[in-house]
Amino acid sequence: MRLLEKAIKEKGVVLPDNILKVGAFLNNQLDVALLKKVGKDIYKHFSDCGVTKILTVESSGIGLSCLTAQFFNCNVVFAKKSKTSNVSGEVYSADCFSYTHKNNNTLIVPAEFLSENDRVLILDDFLAHGEAVSALRKIISLSGATLVGVAIAIEKGFQGAGDKLRAEGVDLYSCAVVDKMTENKITFRHI
Amino acid sequence: MRLLEKAIKEKGVVLPDNILKVGAFLNNQLDVALLKKVGKDIYKHFSDCGVTKILTVESSGIGLSCLTAQFFNCNVVFAKKSKTSNVSGEVYSADCFSYTHKNNNTLIVPAEFLSENDRVLILDDFLAHGEAVSALRKIISLSGATLVGVAIAIEKGFQGAGDKLRAEGVDLYSCAVVDKMTENKITFRHI
């Protein structure tokens, strides 16, 4: 999606350790007009998939998920991050390592919010090593719901998780795929 | 707002320690159609205030803020919670005690996302003891921006922070005000 690529080029900052900082429009500050267009782009790809729920992770996936869910007329469920695996109540949980923060989290979704009748679209702001998507897939699997696909705003193509998902047959739609980035230049993949 | 009161009555759960659990529509699961209507209700109150930015706190304020920001045609900035006051970089920060989690957080907003030209609407899902709103007001004050008002989905009227803000002359708009709650009954304030 060229509009998103333009925002990444103009406002994104490449930091050491392959971190792409997009706090100006996707995280910390949310450019709602832009993200609504990103949401519409995601909707176009998955519009005929019968999505009943969008599943994301707090915090940075929530804004885009809500703006996208309007097009699907569905609810958003977000997994909370807990430092402990010691979770009580009826929940689905899965462990998740954060490369950005270099720590382990347990992602938790109350069981009442996902059922075997749900057709779930996973949505997140970034796809890098794929840890969050793996954990969310595990949660969907535990709930008995159906995974419709995975929607990502920015995929870091060079970190491989996206191509691995595609090879597995997952319907992955990334609005922008960064194939290479240096401090001065960001190169996008166009299929 | 009667629609929100209806959702609270039907789906809210009153827990010990004056906790009102609304995970089914406002937190954890987000009822996007309902929250869009709540956002429109907030917009009606502040539509002529020249709002340039909505300021909220991660995580549960983000969804409603994004859906509301569409009506104002403005961006959302969310404060991140940090366990440490030891914050580097150009940021505005303020301490905030969480009665729900019984811990202290420092709320942080990068300085680049708030300027003295901004007219800021604070938006949050709950107003109870007012700790988060106080911290966000401090951040706005540090940035030199103008506080337009405070929008809240659910105010716990019996905990007093709302009336204190009103007495200070803050333009506080709460879509639903709970005046009393027990396990079996929730009573709303209607002015």
Nearest CA in chain B to A81: B59
Per CB-CB distance under 8 Å, the chain B contacts of A100 are: none
Phi, psi values for residue A168, rounded to 5°: -80, -5
What residues of A are in the B interface, CB distance below 8 Å?
Answer: 23-24, 28-33, 35-36, 58-59, 62-63, 65-67, 69-70, 73-78, 80, 109-110, 112-113
Mean pLDDT over the full length of chain B: 94
Q: How many angstroms from the chain centroid is the CA of residue B190?
A: 20
Distance between CA A25 and CA B24 in Å, rounded?
A: 28
Task: Please state whether beta strands A26-27 and B19-21 pair in parallel, antiparallel, or not at all (unpaired).
Answer: unpaired
Per CB-CB distance under 8 Å, the chain B contacts of A24 are: 112-113
Mean pLDDT value of segment B12-21 = 91
- Chain A nearest-CA distance from B167, in A, is 31
Find all residues with CB under 8 Å of A187, minimum gap 6, and list them: A178, A179, A180, A181
> Are A123 and A54 within 8 A, CB to CB?
yes
DSSP assignment of B97-121: EETTTTEEEEEEEEGGG--TT-EEE
Per CB-CB distance under 8 Å, the chain B contacts of A69 are: 30, 32
Per CB-CB distance under 8 Å, the chain A contacts of B62 are: 30, 59, 62-63, 66
Q: If phi over 0 gives left and psi between -120 and 50 gives alpha, with beta otherwise, what is residue A159?
A: alpha
Distance between CA B114 and CA B130 in Å, rounded?
A: 21
> Are A65 and A121 within 8 A, CB to CB?
no
**Which residue bears the tokens 């529509």?**
B25
What residues of B are in the A interface, CB distance below 8 Å?
Answer: 23-24, 28-33, 35-36, 58-59, 62-63, 65-67, 69-70, 73-78, 80, 109-110, 112-113
The kind and range of the H/E element at B38 are helix B32-46
Name the least confident of A15-19, A175-179, B97-101, B161-165. Answer: B97-101
Other C-beta atoms closer than 10 Å to the C-beta of B176 total 25
Nearest CA in chain B to A55: B29
Name the least confident of A94-103, A123-132, B13-22, B26-35. Answer: A94-103
List, in sequence order, every residue forming a beta bridge with B189; answer none if it has no partner. Answer: none
pLDDT (tens digit, 9 = 90+) per residue, A151-191?
999 999 999 999 999 999 999 999 999 999 999 899 999 97
* Cβ contact A29–B75 (<8 Å): yes
**Which residue bears the tokens 């995580």?**
B59
pLDDT the model gives residue A87: 60
pLDDT (tens digit, 9 = 90+) per residue, A51-84?
999 999 999 999 999 999 999 999 999 999 986 6
What does DSSP assign to residue B122? E
Distance between CA A139 and CA A144 in Å, rounded?
A: 9
* Cβ contact B63–A59 (<8 Å): no
Per CB-CB distance under 8 Å, the chain B contacts of A57 are: none
* Cβ contact B67–A62 (<8 Å): no
Q: Considering only the beta carbons, identify the residue of B23, B70, B80 that sits closest to A110.
A: B23
Phi, psi values for residue B107, rounded to 5°: -90, 135
Nearest CA in chain B to A35: B66
Nearest CA in chain B to A53: B29
pLDDT (tens digit, 9 = 90+) per residue, B97-129?
887 778 889 999 999 999 999 999 999 999 999
